[in-house]
Structure 1
């Protein structure tokens, strides 16, 4: 089977999920062409698993100091380029089209009347799951940004809906953790402001990853460039993570039993909803602004949640091999039966 697989490149969560899917698809013998859009070509890193890939401009959201700006997003969009990319993408030679919220692929398939399988967290919003921060614009973006005929939604809990657990790496639980080591990933915030915010907490070691790292004036704060391997190494033995409320990183942190503090992007319904879900499930803490008092309280909190998720990428690949039968309640229930939730302390 030949598969065309489009991946939204804004942020790193979609790409992280695609890496896991790529390994399982390759192991199963599928012939896959990957396409990424949403960031400049020189900003992609650690892409070897995709065995060559193609890029499009696509669409992305403009952010400034932790908030999505729909006005700037519209002004910086390239609609003519977007329409041309859709028109020039030939999908006739492919047996299956998959979109991880990637709009060029989704709309090109729609134009060519080829059904699209959507895989990703955003497709869970087609079901009754925790939602917050919605408005008419956000609702329409979620619905029409990268439409799919069949959507496999992913979330940390099923909420009584036919959705699946996250697609993440499934490493062994860390045998040793540095109780004072905190990983920080707030790429949409001002990095200097973040380090100033963390500077009073001298009993902790902060490893801050940033798209454009700057020199840290503080001995207990390291600022590092984005690197999948370096990031995973620091995440593995840290006690907790401070991040925006993206889905994939929180999923990995739950799998590794890390304390979680999220600061959702303002005016971004998905992230605000993610923060609400983490709070509802008791899986993490939330701050809606960069708040030293909230960080102080969270750092003193010794408890975390360890959620063991199955290899959902393999579940989906096996489902593809079986001819994509209906994902009914019995199917999804069997997957969720393999999820285990434990409390841990540091």
Structure 2
């Protein structure tokens, strides 16, 4: 037999039929097709058998290719990816040029299956760069199609199965040392642009540049470094699609802790976030994807519901299409076992469309899942906020609620409280009582507060949330910096903030009394402040004046004592993270 075509697969029922049809259409017939399957859970194996392919066990690409080569009867091996398609006369053209130049190993060039200027020009650039780099050092990738002799494959002991990325380039380099390598000029291989569509041209280009630069100097590259998760392997990792609200940094900061924990526990993750949450997480992790999100309009420290509605509605049609397309395509490839949402709207829709179980973990659901009473003056705000929470998340399999107050729950079977997630650095701080008050705002519209602070020259204030670095009299403004905020937090004698959940819980962990002026009409913040006052950890006011400020400062010792005696301070995040893991496993296994 002349040639054996070896194709590693994992859940390729969507793409494999087109490749097998294209092989069947070839004029060249002296061949066999071997599918090395990594325990696919879809119809991949069934499709392969229907085309009379040999099927052998697979794994990561190196494992699958080696297993295919072991049973191959052809003198020539052609390695292809499952999402490629052969152009007319591809096999004949490839063999003729391969033998004409007396080569030992070669790759072909690629063209996109999906037409369009960006697709076509990006693939031509990829071809050009691959040819140029090959003059410096033999280089290539499995997606280009690799052809070699079985005798040479055996002489170098096949692909290095210890490599989870770059095994193809390593293979090419080792065979090229004992033979000749070339990028073939004539044959063209059609390849899917699914990764380009999922990750974007910029992301793909950066990853390609990073991997190529390392490989050229002889360094190995791993999947983890590049943020790839191909899902091959005989022992399947559970996969989580994690999505979070992007407004403010509270969701992002605690999600950073959760994401790091889940990765360390061996889960595969892809993460969706908008706005500042995306920027924060993308600087720390791979596999973070941007989506458009909802934003609240604030004026004079108050939510403007009508303007918020108008502002978000103008973007909803495009966000809905773009977000759902991106999330659907990535989820279709990634095949998550569960979706975990920290109050993110589009992941809820995706859960219903794909019928993937959803776990909700946030602080917002105390509004809808708990029994509590509040003054009648907040009834309208409460109704509106509860409606938003109901609209964002429906029919979660399990609901975990971060909280520092614990009113009775309506349903304890599927809902439970967990302690707030805090940054590890907060647990490590050793707080002292300095001579300044820390002021933290998530809205830049509370100008009345700043004017009041300036009227108290006997007090020093450090203010975050206005996104500037400047000093005005006794008020020092800082733009956000985690390291500076830790220091300022640690040594503050108390804090003034709105009703943001994350900052309040970090302040309580550090034993800092809190003067809370929640954003008007934002009922979640109002409820946080009500319970803060009720528990004796600080004060709740709808606005601030000199008398309120003086009274609060006078009572700082009382509030510090209450926090010290009544507030439960976990030593770390372990309990909450373990509960989350148990919940994930329960949902997946049921």
TM range (shorter): 0.7 to 0.9
1:181 match: 436
1:28 is aligned to 265
Could you tell me whether the CA contact under 8 Å between 1:215 and 1:223 is conserved in 2?
yes
Are 2:578 and 1:293 aligned? no
Measure, in 2, the Cα distance between the counterparts of 1:62 and 1:271. 15
1:314 pairs with one of 577, 581, 587 = 577
How far 1:159 sits from its partner (Å)?
2.7
Quick one: structure 1 residues 148 and 247, their matched pair in 2 at CA, closer, same or farther if it must change by over 3 Å? farther
Of structures 1 and 2, the one with the larger relative CO (CA 8 A, separation 6+) is: 1
CA contact (8 A) 1:245 1:263 kept: yes
Shift of 1:25: 1.1
Question: 369, 378, 383: which is aligned to 1:127?
Answer: 369
Deviations 1:261-286 (A, max 9, x none): 11111111111111111112222211
Task: Measure how far apart 1:202 and its partner are.
Answer: 2.5
RMSD (Å) for aligned C-alpha atoms: 2.5
Q: 1:313 to 1:21 in 2, by over 3 A?
A: farther
Aligned residues: 323
Equivalent position of 2:308 in the other structure: 73
In the aligned structure 2, how far is the partner of 1:50 from the partner of 1:147? 28
- Bigger proportion of residues as helix: 2
SS in 2 for 1:323: helix
Between the aligned partners of 2:282 and 2:496, the Cα distance in structure 1 is 25
Q: Secondary structure at the match of 2:586?
A: coil
The structure having more radius of gyration, on CA atoms, is 2
Q: Gaps (5+ residues) in structure 1?
A: 327-346
1:301 positional shift = 1.8
- How far, CA to CA, are the matches of 2:447 and 2:471 in structure 1? 8
Q: Quick one: which of 39, 43, 55 aligns to 2:290? A: 55
Contact 2:248 2:276 in 1 (8 A): no
Partner of 1:337: none
Partner of 1:140: 387
Normalising by structure 1, report the TM-score.
0.85
Higher mean Cα deviation, 220-229 or 300-309?
300-309
1:280 is matched with 534
Q: 1:155 aligns with which of 384, 397, 403?
A: 403
Name the TM-score, length of structure 2 as normaliser.
0.51
Uncovered stretches (5+) of structure 2, i.e. residues with no partner: 1-237, 410-415
Residue number in structure 2 paired with 1:112: 354
CA distance in 1: counterparts of 2:281 and 2:450, whole angstroms: 26
Q: C-alpha deviations, 1:26-73, integer Å up to 9, x for none?
A: 221211111112x368x8347533334111112121111211111111
